[in-house]
Amino acid sequence: METLQATQPPKAPIKIVFFDIDDTLYMKKTETIPSSIFQQVIPRLKLNNIIPAIATGRTYSAFPEALKPLINSGAFELFVTTNGQYNLYKGKVISQYPLSTERVERIIQKFQALNIEYAFVCPEQVAVSKDSPEIQEALLPIKSDYLVDPDYYLNHTVLQMLAFFPEERLQEVIDADVLEDDLKEVRWHSYSVDILAKENSKARGIKDVLQYLELDIENAMAFGDGLNDLEMLSSVGYGVAMGNAENELKAVANFVTLPIDDEGILYALEKLEVI
């Protein structure tokens, strides 16, 4: 087992806790959520008047089935989705940051020139330009009913795009100026990256919803494991990296807990005396 660092509890009282989904709250390999989330984490947070919230790279329409019971029961009512670009509270959209049609078309032209397939991430659906075994490997664990429609963007709001290429082709993408000056890529799979505006992140979405709820950032805690959690863990009052997290994320976290399959969330909340 990994050695955990000395415990330094949050300095400010925690009033809201944001959870990443994949491999933080939800185990993708087994398509399950640890039983402690249902039986202890959520009930004890609510008992302490702490709001449980979601902060994910997924679009709302791509939430895993295992999470639906928690949503339907009202355990989660606050959602920072699509890397902070579509944010909801009790079904109301608090903020959203779509890409313009013109911006999407410029990205498409450059990816087509590189023979790189792409996808549109929208509030209600994910649509890919073309299907392939590699794309299926990346997307099926996230959304099994995605569409194949290269023109989907023409009649739908595009929050961000995905691009499908291995890490070794990144320099080609950079050289082709696909990202220009206002976009960034965040890798979430060996064959796929998120393409979104540089200023957008989970941290931006969190700031929006906290402002709406009139809560201070110092009173927010967040759990994550991936590279798209870097801004989130760096900006909230207290950031927790899962034991299975990327090393870059562990480096910015206030605390590194146990892995997801070893009840890492429950362990951290108890160790840090949040519940």
For residues 82 and 43, membership in a common domain is answered with yes
Q: For 50-70, what is each residue's pLDDT tens digit?
A: 999 999 999 999 999 999 999
- Do 75 and 37 share a domain, yes or no? yes
Together in a domain, 84 and 135: no
Same domain for 142 and 127?
Answer: yes
Same domain, yes or no: 166 and 111: yes
Q: Going by C-beta distance under 8 Å and a sequence separation of 6 or more, which residues neighbour residue 46?
A: 52, 75
CA distance 136 to 32: 20
Q: 2 lies in a domain? A: no
Kindly state whether residue 165 falls inside one of the protein's structural domains.
yes
Q: Report yes or no on 5 lying in a domain.
A: no
Give pLDDT tens digits for 167-207: 999 999 999 999 988 999 999 999 999 999 999 999 999 99
Q: Is it the case that residue 2 has pLDDT exceeding 90?
A: no
- Tell me, yes or no, whether 91 and 136 share the same domain: no
| Domain end among 168, 197, 226 | 197
b/e code 262-271 from CB counts within 10 Å (16+ = b): ebbbbbbbee
CATH code, domain with 152: 3.30.1240.10
The verdict on residue 159 lying in a domain is: yes
- In tens, the pLDDT along 12-50 reads 999 999 999 999 999 999 999 999 999 999 999 999 999
In a domain, 266, yes or no: yes
20 is catalytic: yes
Residue 6: predicted pLDDT: 56
User: Domain end: 165, 197, 229, which one?
Assistant: 197
Do 174 and 127 belong to one domain? yes
Per-residue pLDDT averaged across 91-115, rounded? 96
Residues 74 and 136 in one domain: no
Q: Are residues 23 and 70 in the same domain?
A: yes
pLDDT at residue 229 tops 90:
yes
- Pick the catalytic residue from 20, 194, 208, 229: 20
CATH number at residue 74: 3.40.50.1000
User: What per-residue confidence (pLDDT) applies to 186?
Assistant: 92
DSSP class of residue 43 equals H
Are 205 and 193 contained in the same domain?
Answer: no
| Token pair listed for 29 | 């390999």
Considering its fold, how many domains does the chain have in total? Answer: 2
Same-domain pairing of 92 and 113: no
Report if residue 48 sits inside a domain: yes
Mean pLDDT over the full length of the chain: 94
The structure's pTM equals: 0.90
Task: Give 260 or 6, the one with higher predicted confidence.
Answer: 260
Q: 39: how many CB neighbours lie within 10 A of its CB? A: 11
Stated as kind and residue range, the H or E segment containing 173 is: helix 170-175
Of the residues 197, 222, 245, the one at which a domain ends: 197
Q: Quick check: is 6 in a domain?
A: no
Question: Which residues form the domain of 36?
Answer: 16-96+201-272
State whether residue 224 is helix, strand or coil: strand
Residue 264 in domain: yes
Do the Cβ atoms of 77 and 209 come closer than 8 Å?
Answer: no
Residue 225 and residue 156 in one domain: no
